[in-house]
Structure 1
Amino acid sequence: MSGHAEPYGREGLPLHEAREQVLAAVEPLQGAVTLPLANALGRVSATAVRAAEAVPGFRASIMDGYALGQNSQPKAGDTWVLTGRSAAGHPFNGTLTAGESIRILTGAPLPEGAGWVLPQELMQVDGTRLTLVKEASDRPWIRAEDDECGRNDLLLEPGQRLGPADLARLAGCGIAELSVHRQPRIGLLISGDELVAAGSPRPPGAIWESNGTLLDTMLRSLGQTVAEHRVVADQLEALSSALQTLAATCDVVVSTGGISAGDSDWIRPLVDELGEVAFWKLFLRPGRPFAFGRLGEGVPFFGLPGNPVAAAITGLQLLWPALQRLEGQSHPELFPRLKVVLADPLARRPGRPELARARLETSEGGTPMARIDGSQASSRIGSLQQADLLLEIPADAGNLDPGTPLWAQLIRRPLF
């Protein structure tokens, strides 16, 4: 073991520098699979996808009304002869000439010669005679044949994470399956002598293990899957064996605890022995004890803090972008930022920059507000419950008054 004492300074790396180093050190995994659209939600496209033909492929009516055999704007009092009907899936089989019209329904194809659609509420029908009784707008109410896409249009770029709208558009363009990148196999190691499983008796000094549940479910909510999950006591040989096994079977290894400088903190020196520690310690609250490096044949290693909130926060800030890069996402996404004001006073001491958990509310005047409930201790999982925001509090900030403006990361993810 190399036994580095303070190789990165007492304060540690600023978060943005740590993220830059992590993303520069990881490369996309090799390999792709072909999946039906229904199984591709949250995956990353491996190839570009182009449209085989224009969609919808025909001019269509935007509303229920009447298609006219003309291209000019109609005027009140104009009349036409009704000659047929067009409905979705049952087009009118013919051509319209000047003075002719057909009944047409939303989404139905326009026949050749039709250049205008009038809403039904503007029309009067007397047998086969159609009359415009009110002034019409200058809009023809026709959807172009390439409204969704034209032939050979780019529908999807490689390296794009797939949401419901992406998949629906592909389906609407006739595509049933696509090639996606292989997902990283994540090995999760939870260390600690004091840990016992939830539901089991708790001896004096023990705590019920929660980091495994928190990280496993958090990663699942981000579309990732923990392939192997181990809970190991703070014993040198057992931890060494677990790290080597996970490095041999997984694409990335994540641990919690054991990376500080205590008597039983074995993880960081073991990683330094089995591979390399690129950096450790962050200039951040919560999450100062954090390590990044490699195990074995270059498997990325993330040593998260032992406190659950700190593990979750550093996982979102550093592990999640790296997993996106490993899965082939071209531009790893960070959480969008917005300006908010504090709803309540916040007591704190200057020291390290902080990511505080808060709910997003709106004032009567429409101002986005951040409300913090209870303690922000890194051991208190309750501070994560109902959190919409991670407030970015500068290192030099002391006690903050209500109304103080702050930047915040919006950690509620978009639906589409």
Structure 2
Amino acid sequence: MAQLSADADAFGPMLTIEQAAERAAEHITAVAGSETVPLAAADGRVLAADIVAPVDLPPFANSAVDGYAVRFADLAAAGETRLLLSGRVAAGADAADVTTENRAVRVFTGAPMPAGADTVFMQEDVGLDAGAVILPAGLKRGANARPAGEDLPRGDTALAAGRRLRPQDLALLAALGLTKVAVRRRVRVAIFSTGDELNEPGTALPPAGIYDANRSLLRALVTHAGAEVVDLGILKDERESLVRRLREAAADCDLILTSGGVSTGEEDHVKAAVERAGELAFWRVAIKPGRPVAMGLVAGTPFIGLPGNPVAVFVTFAFVARTVIALLSGTQPVRLPGLPVRLGFAYKKKAGRREYVRVSLAPGPDGIAVARKHPRDGAGVLTSLTETDGLVELSDELTSVAEGTIAPFLAYEMLTG
């Protein structure tokens, strides 16, 4: 089970994003258990053990181009070299009996290098003359030839345990001849929304009712993070019921993730329910949109309570919950650097908190993209997410930025992968 300090004061009244991540890293333990899956089902999974290359990659020396393979020692020290042709080797063919001494061999991309040959001339660089080739001077030894193990020598670590597999990783494993791989089991994440005003999409709305968008958002975000979703639905604002459901979720899942009810209002019961069912570590992070983000333990199971507004859910998931899921999955969270963009707006903010501004990008005259702020920036405005490309990050110490300032931009794809 994960362990987290019960002393909320040790975390301070307001944590930076980095401090929140550090606290999680100190006290959250990766889930136990692994399984072996075929490569076709391994995308997004976390490696349970190092992969050591069982063969050289490539497994034999081969030509990188269509051309003519020769022994470098047979080339003239200066000027052109004329060599008779001796055979033809295509990709997949056997080159064992092809003569190379003082000869040139016609080869094609991927063809095995004939014994003794170590250099390949590209076909467009040579001349042909009655069964011979005329080779220009100046080519270096080993040019256009790929030695065995050039990409990865046998016995070297191809991929390390804890890596979240990507399509290019699967290609590498396939090139090594592997058909299956040991991966950690998926983290089970219980999600639910809270609020008496919430209703399931597809049902009739009562007066003052709204449809629950947050669970659809969280289901997708959790899945993109490589975890398994356990959807517990909508829970009403009733403290005893919340305490019971939190304890039930803790017994079955590795992480409990909620939205709503973590602020200080009289009807915000989730924070109090967590304190009843377990222990609360912190509940405020210096981030906007967001801030009321609760984290703690329920019967040893990590709990994260996100705000109720959907934009705040998106942002706080990206910078807090995604980190926790990565740690529970046995991998390290990836924090890619923002891409530099030029602000097409001026902005004022409070010092002491990180702010994320929803923007759309447009080409700039000097090659640097221009970020245009969405006209509606409320934390409940879902179209401010669907009509923009990503977030501009404004650091904690800033109080204002002028139009034309260069700032880091984080595309939504960077925050949900």
> TM exceeds 0.5?
yes
Deviates more, 1:50-59 or 1:232-241: 232-241
Task: Give, in whole Å, the separation in 2 of the partners of 1:320 and 1:311.
Answer: 12
Give 1:165's match in structure 2, choosing from 150, 155, 168: 168
Q: How does 1:257-336 map to 2 (within 5 A)?
A: 257-296=260-299, 298-329=300-331, 331-336=332-337
Residue matched to 2:402: 401
Residue matched to 1:342: 343
Tell whether 2:140 aligns with 1:138.
yes
Task: Give, in whole Å, the separation in 1 of the partners of 2:134 and 2:60.
Answer: 27
Deviates more, 1:331-340 or 1:181-190: 331-340
Tell whether 2:370 aligns with 1:369.
yes
Q: How does 1:68-147 map to 2 (within 5 A)?
A: 68-71=70-73, 73=75, 77-132=80-135, 134-135=136-137, 137-138=139-140, 140-147=143-150
Task: Give, in whole Å, the separation in 1 of the partners of 2:114 and 2:10.
Answer: 72
Structure 2 counterpart SS, 1:376: coil
Task: Give, in whole Å, the separation in 2 of the partners of 1:101 and 1:367.
Answer: 51
Unpaired runs of 5+ residues, structure 2, are: 1-7
Residue matched to 1:194: 197
Task: Give, in whole Å, the separation in 2 of the partners of 1:53 and 1:399.
Answer: 57
- Summarize the Cα distance change of 1:122–1:399 in structure 2 as closer, same or farther, 3 Å threshold: closer
Deviates more, 1:16-25 or 1:354-363: 354-363
- Summarize the Cα distance change of 1:248–1:96 in structure 2 as closer, same or farther, 3 Å threshold: same
Structure 2 counterpart SS, 1:213: helix
Task: Give, in whole Å, the separation in 1 of the partners of 2:190 and 2:61.
Answer: 53
Task: Give, in whole Å, the separation in 1 of the partners of 2:178 and 2:98.
Answer: 32
- Summarize the Cα distance change of 1:153–1:262 in structure 2 as closer, same or farther, 3 Å threshold: same
Q: TM-score, normalised by structure 2?
A: 0.90
Q: TM-score, normalised by structure 1?
A: 0.90
CA offset at residue 126 of structure 1? 4.2
Structure 2 counterpart SS, 1:341: strand
Contact 1:71 1:115 survives alignment (8 Å): no
Contact 1:228 1:246 survives alignment (8 Å): no
- Summarize the Cα distance change of 1:303–1:414 in structure 2 as closer, same or farther, 3 Å threshold: closer
Structure 1 residues 341-370: Cα deviation after superposition (integer angstroms, max 9, x where no partner): 212233656674312222344422122432
CA offset at residue 138 of structure 1? 2.9
Deviates more, 1:144-153 or 1:359-368: 359-368
Structure 1 counterpart SS, 2:65: coil
CA offset at residue 320 of structure 1? 0.5
CA offset at residue 63 of structure 1? 0.8
Give 1:210's match in structure 2, choosing from 204, 213, 220: 213
Structure 1 residues 181-228: Cα deviation after superposition (integer angstroms, max 9, x where no partner): 111100001111001122322222111110001111122223223123
Structure 1 counterpart SS, 2:341: strand
CA offset at residue 235 of structure 1? 1.8
Task: Give, in whole Å, the separation in 2 of the partners of 1:25 and 1:84.
Answer: 66
- How many residue pairs were aligned? 409
Residue matched to 1:3: none
Contact 1:292 1:303 survives alignment (8 Å): yes
Residue matched to 2:354: 353
One-letter amino acid matched to 2:55: E
Deviates more, 1:83-92 or 1:392-401: 392-401
Task: Give, in whole Å, the separation in 1 of the partners of 2:416 and 2:157.
Answer: 23
- Summarize the Cα distance change of 1:63–1:76 in structure 2 as closer, same or farther, 3 Å threshold: farther
CA offset at residue 164 of structure 1? 1.1
Task: Give, in whole Å, the separation in 1 of the partners of 2:139 and 2:333.
Answer: 46
